[in-house]
Amino acid sequence: MHCTEAVYSNNYYDIIGSISGSAPAVENLCEQNIANRYTVYYLNRDEVPPLSVGTYKYINIPKCYTILDQSALEASGITRVQTQRNLELFGDGILIGFLDTGIQYENEAFRNTDGSSRIVSIWDQSIDTGPHPEGFIYGTEYTKEELDFALQQENPREFVPQTDEVGHGTMLAAIAAGSEDIRNDFIGAAPYADIAMVKLKPAKQYLRDFYYIKDGAIAYQENDIFAAIDYLNKLADKRGEPLVLCIGLGTNQGHRGSGGRLTSYLDDIAAMYRRAVCIAVGDEANARHHYYGGVSDNNSDRVEINVTEDMKGFIVELWGHSSELFAISLTSPTGEVLQRVAVWNGQQQKQHFLLENTHVIIDYQLGSERSREQLIHIDFENPVRGLWMIEVFPYRISDGNFNMYLPISDFLEHDVYFVRSNPDTTITVPSSAKIPMAVGGYNGITNGVYLESGRGYTTDGNIKPDYVAPAVNVSTKNQFGQMDRMTGTCASVAIAAGASALLMEWNISYMDNRTVNSIELRNQIINGALKIPNQLFPNREEGYGRLDIYQSILNMRNL
């Protein structure tokens, strides 16, 4: 019981470590193994130093992720593969897994014609009233049998209390896999697919405070996302089903190219036999939260950040490639200067700006278990409104280029932006992973662009997004069982996940049980992607083009 309480208690830090690393030297240590790859340690805050990048290292502190929001099936070729007599693909025998805000399991969108549930499992990480899933020390798992029993009762939630207060997970699942509703002229992309949902546990308050996440913003911890993916992968193995992961979460933390622990893990899952991973690229292209700059041996670069209102704080991350090493100085709106210093790994600078009453901490870190990129982590506490100037100096450079990121929009208390921002390289993490399919959005109603859709490429030059799908006013059903509309790349990724389930079904049923994974499915999809005339492909906005699953199958049949 002690360890389960530690998972939920704000009095315990969650620290992610490699399973081969040394465990912290504390008494009564609680830990959670994830995929025999990582270990999450739960540390009593009274027994360890306060949380800081300098003390615990950036890679070990869980990042926080949020949901990515602000006649799609026909545009994506899905309706044709559902109705084409020689195809009739509906996702039968495929498991689509979601990790999100939960699912309103009573919704007709997730039920068979006999009233039973199409949901095969729910893991609610947020409550601890029932049995934990095997191998996990927290949350409550609900089986299909329990869901079917609850649906036969007058008050189902007395028996299965899981619900979706936000509605995001429900709408995402309905787009990807909703059952047909003839009266409302609605059908999901893969209406016969099995559904599994992990309702993520909200981030602890100490992490929200550490990252200055505004009150009321939806935030989930990296370690809980790790656990959700591990659970869904094991569930698919247990059921002997192919798995399509649909991920509509993202963050601006950890833009280290295609590396990082979560992106690395997703790469490994996506490369597995009969696995596909679809990730939304986010809606940050117009947020002005990315800066791309460069220095030379004799010239620095001045980066201005406009803080529009006094606020509790925010964090800026500067990422340099492995061959680069930078130093910075900082100037406040009134002209007070924090001078640059010689740089070494693990160095920390602290400064209190008297006239602004703002406290700034700068941490310099080099490398991780996956890369040798430099991170400069800048923590602004109580920043006043005005222009803050960061001057970037060369210390040891090759091409001298670097990327800087502000937090994702939904985390900020007030508007903060780079004066000279760059809309490229604005896909959110973990869509920067190499092997999974990064899905952007376009306006399927006007056939035009969706300006908010995150743009590529990754900071290390990999082509992302892979392709785009409709993102504006996509039909769905909400947590109240009503018809609704969804706009954002989360809608795009739900369409892509459903399309991937259909394509997975086609490869298994019609192509002699072809052994496919995310790599093969991605290649098949981009082979049939629609390319707008007079544009070069791939490009930063649409990758290799627009999803057209029908054309992808036609092209494969012609090989």
The strand pair at 119-124 and 194-199 is best described as parallel
Looking at residue 405, its pLDDT comes to: 97
State the pLDDT at residue 426: 96
Does residue 449 register a pLDDT over 80?
yes
pLDDT reading at 73 higher than 70:
no
Residue 226, pLDDT > 60, answer: yes
The answer to whether residues 328 and 340 touch, using CB atoms and an 8 Å cutoff, is yes
Of 365, 463, 461, whose CA–CA distance to 60 is shortest?
365
pLDDT surpasses 80 at 25: no
Q: Residue 40: is its pLDDT beyond 80?
A: yes
Same domain, 267 and 148: yes
> Which two tokens mark 190?
């893969």
In-domain check, residue 55: no
Percent of the chain with pLDDT over 90: 71
Residues 459 and 319 in one domain: no
Same domain for 303 and 270, yes or no, is: no
pLDDT at 107 exceeding the cut of 90: yes
> Global pTM?
0.93
Q: Clarify whether residues 396 and 438 are in a common domain.
A: no
Question: Is position 107 within any domain?
Answer: yes
Q: Domain range for residue 155?
A: 72-285+429-557
- The strand ranges marked E within 192-239 are 194-199, 220-221
In tens, the pLDDT along 316-367 reads 999 998 778 899 999 999 999 998 877 777 788 899 998 889 999 999 988 6
| One domain for residues 177 and 224 | yes
The verdict on residue 457 lying in a domain is yes
Q: Are residues 189 and 326 in the same domain?
A: no
> For the chain, what is the domain count?
2
Residue 28 lies in a domain: no
- The strand pairing partners of 39, in sequence order, are 17, 33
Contacts of 145 (CB under 8 A, 6+ apart): none
Same structural domain for residues 340 and 240?
A: no
- Name the residue with higher pLDDT: 510 or 116: 116
Please give the pLDDT value at position 148.
96
Position 368 pLDDT exceeds 60: no
Instruction: Count helices and strands (H / E) in the chain.
Output: 12, 28
> What pLDDT was estimated at residue 399?
86
Q: What share of the chain is helix, strand, coil (3-state, %, to 5)?
A: 25, 30, 50
Q: Enumerate the H helices of 16-102 as residue ranges.
A: 53-56, 72-75, 78-83
DSSP state of 58: G
Q: Is residue 26 part of a domain?
A: no
At residue 1, the pLDDT reads 52
Of 397, 418, 439, the position where a domain reaches its end is 418
Largest CA distance in the chain: 75
- Sole residue written with tokens 């908010």: 452
What pLDDT is stored for residue 111 in this prediction? 94
In this structure, are 279 and 346 located in the same domain? no
pLDDT at 75: 61
Q: Is residue 13 part of a domain?
A: no
Residue 385: CATH number of its domain: 2.60.120.1290
Q: How many CB atoms lie within 10 A of CB 131?
A: 11
Question: Do residues 161 and 308 both lie within one domain?
Answer: no
Locus of tokens 């509906």? 90
Instruction: Evaluate whether 256 touches 429 at the Cβ level (below 8 Å).
Output: no
Q: Are 188 and 487 in contact (CB under 8 A)?
A: no
Q: What is the pLDDT of residues 356-365, one digit of tens each?
A: 899 999 999 8
CB 224, CB 201: distance < 8 Å: yes
Residue type, 452: E
Query: How much is the pLDDT for 299?
Result: 92
Q: Is the pLDDT of residue 84 over 60?
A: yes
* Other beta carbons less than 10 A from residue 108's beta carbon: 15
Task: Give the domain-ending residue among 368, 386, 418.
Answer: 418
**Residue 43 belongs to some domain of the structure:** no
- Chain centroid to Cα 332, Å, comes to 33
Please say if the pLDDT value at position 557 is more than 80.
no
**What pLDDT does 513 receive?**
63
> Are residue 99 and residue 239 in the same domain, yes or no?
yes
End-to-end CA distance of the chain: 58
64 part of a folded domain = no
Q: What is the mean pLDDT of residues 385-404?
A: 92
Residues of the chain with pLDDT > 70, as a percent, come to 94
Q: Given this model, what pLDDT does residue 259 score?
A: 66
3-state secondary structure 286-345: CCCCEEEEECECCECEEEEEEECCCCCEEEEEEEECCCCEEEEEEECCCCCEECCCCCCC
Residue 515: pLDDT above 80? Answer: no
Q: Do 518 and 387 belong to one domain?
A: no
Least confident of 43-57, 369-383, 444-458: 369-383
Residue 77 has pLDDT above 70, yes or no: no
Q: What is the pLDDT of residues 254-299, one digit of tens each?
A: 887 666 889 999 999 999 999 999 999 999 999 999 999 999 988 9
Per-residue pLDDT for 476 more than 80?
A: yes
Q: Are residues 214 and 337 in the same domain?
A: no
CB under 8 Å to 109, separation ≥6 — which residues?
170, 173, 174, 178, 179, 181, 186, 188, 477, 481
H helix or E strand, kind and range, residue 386: strand 386-396
Mean pLDDT score, 30-49:
91
Residues pairing with 393 in the sheet = 327
pLDDT at 76: 64
Residue that wins the pLDDT comparison between 80 and 197: 197
Q: What is the mean pLDDT of residues 367-393?
A: 86
Q: Which run of H or E residues covers position 171?
A: helix 168-177
Domain final residue, candidates 418, 438, 471: 418
- d(C-alpha 149, C-alpha 188), whole Å: 25
Average pLDDT, whole number, for the chain? 90
One-letter amino acid identity for 229?
A: I
